Amino acid sequence: MHRLHRFLAVAVLGLAVSLDVSAMNLNLGCPYGDGCSPPQTPYLSFHSPQSDNLLFTAGDTIDLRCQAVNYLLSRPDVDPSRIVVVGGSQGGRLSVVVAGLDPRISAAVPAIAHSANVPYGSWAARCKSDGMELTGAPPALDDPAGRCAAYYDPMNYAPDIHCPVLMNAGLIDPISPPYGVWAVYNRLGSRDKSIVAFDGHGHDWSAEFDRRAWRWLDRC
């Protein structure tokens, strides 16, 4: 079991309800049927040849998370002032998105948030050595997948987050690079924010962060 899932399981001991929403390997009502494959359907389907449906899949995934908040708030055993979003990697990204869209979120813990500052990453990937041969600002990605990634970039949602936020980043993470995580963190609208850097960590974090996050949530 992933550390984050263990963290969510522990949350049941202190919160009325813990709801784990995942889209990995699920077909989210994809309108183009078998076109959704590869075998592991990502939460943002950049692999589909039907590019017109990229925004549909991404928006449908985000809507699923927002509906999860509505479900929690419909329950009489849930304190509406203590709705928290947590997630790692793709879940970290969606934690940022949902917290930016829904002001009812009281705190957020996006861990190793994925797919932020995509134009910079694509630009930097062209570096041959130290990047000194690249000039100008990173260009916009002018293809269907690039426009979709830019539209749903968690950086765009960060300024609308005003609840407390605790983030982390692995300093050698090749999947959720620190430049993307910090791009989100720097744009957060919340004044109550902090980030934990993990020296020598790739796409993961330590159990100590889970314990720290739990203590942090207990103070929120």
203 near 173, Cβ under 8 Å? yes
Local confidence band at 1 (pLDDT 50, 70, 90 cut-offs): very low
- Report which of 165, 169, 209 is spatially closest to residue 188, judged by C-alpha positions: 165
Question: What pLDDT does 71 receive?
Answer: 86
What average pLDDT does range 82-98 have in this prediction?
A: 90
pLDDT tens for 63-88 read: 666 788 888 888 888 889 989 999 89
Among 20-29, 84-93, 179-188, name the most confident range. Answer: 179-188
Local confidence band at 108 (pLDDT 50, 70, 90 cut-offs): very high
Whole-number average pLDDT of the chain: 76
Hey, what domains does the chain have and what are their CATH numbers? 3-22+81-219 (3.40.50.1820)
Instruction: Summarize the chain as % helix, strand, coil (round to 5).
Output: 45, 10, 45
User: Cα separation of 132 and 121, whole Å?
Assistant: 15
CA 34 to the chain's CA centroid: 26
Local confidence band at 24 (pLDDT 50, 70, 90 cut-offs): low
- Calculate the CA dihedral of residues 216, 192, 67, 148 and round it to 10 degrees: -120
Local confidence band at 61 (pLDDT 50, 70, 90 cut-offs): low
Local confidence band at 178 (pLDDT 50, 70, 90 cut-offs): very high
